[in-house]
Amino acid sequence: MFFGCITQTVLRGLDRLAPKQASEKLPVHLRTGRRGEEDAYFYLRRRGYVMVARNFRTARHHGEIDLIGWAKDRGGDVLCFIEVKTRTTRDVKPAHAAVDRKKRRDLRVVIRDYLHSLPRRQFPQAPTWRFDVITVYYEGGALHPTFELFQNAALSS
């Protein structure tokens, strides 16, 4: 846990040293989203997830999987496809409600592409997988966000 804090501090320091031109031109909501994905990444690592990919896209289909990682489950290791939703307030609607029908359809296709891209030697059969949604809230300008993790969220309907 201590080394995770050090890693996170070092990465944030390196981010501050990196050129700011590209990120400063981004709209505020996109910067907030990136910050939420970064904080969600470290939050999930602290919870025992082993992350293997970030912002996974395919050339063939529209959509992006924010985070992909392995988690321990009752039945063993499970490959988790994680959608991150970040908000600065809870006033309008819950962040997880933004994963609507179109978003779930796009994610299903990209998840299928990811599973097909796995090496057959290592995975002769598709691994057990699930879809998780994590919400990140920065309410009232808080420096430290609050998280809600919805494991095994429905991808259908």
Summarised one tens digit per residue, pLDDT across range 32-78 is 889 999 999 999 999 999 999 999 998 888 889 999 999 998 878 99
Looking at residue 122, its pLDDT comes to 86
Q: How many CB atoms lie within 10 A of CB 147?
A: 15
At 133 the three-state DSSP class reads strand
Q: pTM for the whole thing?
A: 0.80
Domain residue spans of the chain = 2-150
| Both structure tokens of 55 | 């912002």
Answer whether CATH 3.40.50.10490 is correct for domain 2-150: no
Q: How many CB atoms lie within 10 A of CB 57?
A: 13
How many percent of the chain have pLDDT more than 70?
89
